[in-house]
Structures are given as structure tokens and as C-alpha cells.
Structure 1
Amino acid sequence: MKYIIEFEAKAIEDLAKLKKSGNKALITKIERLLLEIAEHPTVGTGQVEALKGILSGYWSRRIDKFNRIIYTIEEEIVTVTIISAKGHYGDKW
């Protein structure tokens, strides 16, 4: 089953900034991670983890040492919402 991916405004801004960096390897990795998330949001590459505490209900995948994709999964409507993609979740929340 393939999930629909939606993006919050913050995630769109984050992805635009990362794309603007011109780092082709980083851009390719983000594209690959997003494809994986659409197929299997709870497993795969990028150190997939369910977040805890105040971020309970959110998931994280590592883009690189400094950046994470943070997202929620809505099984009943087969949708993944990307919340952010720049920085580490500890930097934002």
C-alpha cells in the first residue's frame, strides 16, 4: 500500500532551503527517503524511529548528521504528513 505524502508549510520551506544548498547528494538522499516513507513509513533507511515524550506520535528519519525528516502517519486515511526537514527535532520543539 502506498501512502499519500502531504507537506506542512514548514516542511516545504525546509526542503526549499536544503535544495537551494546545491548539495546534490543531500537532495538525492531526501528524494530517496521520501519515496521510502511513501512505501513503508515505519521501516527503512535513515534511522527510522518513533519519537517519545512531547513528540509522541511523530516519526523521524535521519537525512544527515544535522537534519531529520519529522512526520506523522495517519493509517486510516493512508497519509503521511511531513512536518519538517531541516535541523534536529531538539532544535525546533
Structure 2
Amino acid sequence: MRKEFSDDAWDDYIYWQGTDKKILKKINDLIKEISRTPYEGSGNPEPLKHNLEGWWSRRINLEHRLVYKIKDDSILILQCRYHYY
């Protein structure tokens, strides 16, 4: 699957590269798992509601979430830092 980052998600990803390699590894592991099993697995995947309907969330840690959507053969990544918008 292709990975497509929103501008904010890419900024988040770059932030983790320079700040916390452990969280960066967790994000990479979650993205790999999403490409195999988008709606089940680690990180407690859950569908989001309201203005983020159609998007899914996985827990990176207690504070941060990976928010994504599957579209055709791509993983669209909305954010990988903080909670939902």
C-alpha cells in the first residue's frame, strides 16, 4: 500500500525523527500493520465519528494517536501527534 501524509502529518513525522526515535519506530510499526490489517491489530484501532467520520485512530501511546484512512490502495495519514483535531 502507498502511504500519503497530509502536510500536518508529515510535519508530525519529521518532528518525531528529531525528537523521539522510540515513538517514530512505533509509528512505523503501526503503519506496516495497517497495510496488512487496516481495521484490527495493535494500537486499539477505532473508527472516528462526527467531523472525522471515515477516519480511524490507533494509539501510539497515552498522549498521541495515529489518524488514518484507507482509500483504494493507499493509507492516508492525517496526523501522528497529539489527539484528534
> Aligned-pair RMSD on alpha carbons?
1.2
Runs of 4+ in 1 over 3 A off after TM superposition: none
* 5+ residue gaps, structure 1: none
> Using the alignment, how far apart are the partners of 2:75 and 2:67 within structure 1?
10
Q: Which residue of 2 aligns with 1:38?
A: 35
Structure with the greater alpha carbon radius of gyration:
1
* 5+ residue gaps, structure 2: none
> Using the alignment, how far apart are the partners of 1:6 and 1:45 within structure 2?
21
> Using the alignment, how far apart are the partners of 1:64 and 1:28 within structure 2?
12
Q: Which residue of 2 aligns with 1:79?
A: 74
Shift of 1:16: 0.9
Shift of 1:25: 2.1
> TM-score normalized by structure 1?
0.83
